[in-house]
């Protein structure tokens, strides 16, 4: 995260935190954004009311390794399904996707089937998200090498 002794700099991982769909509650998204910033990530916060196409486009332009979506509207299943299509249209296949918000237990399996890597319902401790994301990025990196 900081300068190493060799003088070369560690490059922070980049994460997009987005609010997708018609849901204006961004307290959770901002808290997670701030937490991840403090963990050393470069966090791109998109703001409210993004469409699945917006999120995919932002992920492409910002070249992020992970997308975190905060959804409290109940529309997580159709929105994530559309997002996966939009990502595929842009050849983004390896980005980590995690979702937070009001996600009923019964929807967790269908979300995972859609390709969601991490699910964090409301009241999840921040450290749980942080540890999970760190592990997930590490896994992808070792797969690549």
Partner 1 sequence: MTNGRISEAAASDELVQILRSEEFKSNSVSRATTILMDSALPLGNIREFLGGRSPNSLLICMTGLPGAGKSSILNCLLRHKDLLNLKVAVLAFDPSSKKGGALLGDRIRLTSERPEDSLFFRSVGHRGSLTTLPSNLDAITAALFHFEYDIVFVETVGLGQTQDNLPEIFDLIVNVQTLTNGDEIQFAKSGLIETGDVIFFNKIENGQNLNLVNVFKQQQMASIPDESKPAKVLSGSALQNQGIDDLVSEIMALRNRVK
Residues that bind partner 1 (CB under 8 A): 1-2, 4, 8-14, 33-34, 36-47, 57-58, 60-63, 65, 90-92, 133-134, 137, 141
Q: Are the C-beta atoms of residues 62 and 93 closer than 8 Å to each other?
A: no
Our CB check for partner 1 shows the closer of 51 and 108 to be 51
Closest approach, Cβ 11 to partner 1, in A, equals: 5
Q: Are the C-beta atoms of residues 133 and 96 closer than 8 Å to each other?
A: yes
Closest approach, Cβ 126 to partner 1, in A, equals: 14
- Kindly state the tokens that stand for 89: 């249209």
Our CB check for partner 1 shows the closer of 33 and 82 to be 33
Closest approach, Cβ 98 to partner 1, in A, equals: 14
């Amino acid at each position: 995260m900081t300068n190493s002794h060799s003088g070369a700099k560690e490059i922070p991982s980049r994460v997009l935190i987005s609010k997708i769909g018609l849901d204006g509650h961004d307290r959770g998204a901002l808290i997670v954004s701030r937490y991840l910033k403090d963990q050393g990530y470069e966090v791109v916060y998109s703001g409210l009311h993004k469409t699945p196409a917006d999120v995919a486009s932002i992920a492409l332009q910002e070249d992020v390794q992970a997308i975190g979506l905060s959804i409290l509207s109940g529309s997580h299943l159709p929105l994530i399904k559309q997002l996966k299509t939009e990502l595929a249209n842009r050849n983004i296949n390896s980005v980590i996707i995690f979702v937070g918000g009001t996600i009923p237990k019964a929807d967790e399996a269908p979300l995972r089937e859609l390709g969601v890597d991490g699910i964090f319902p409301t009241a999840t401790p921040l450290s749980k998200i942080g540890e999970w994301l760190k592990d997930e990025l590490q896994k992808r990196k070792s797969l690549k090498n």
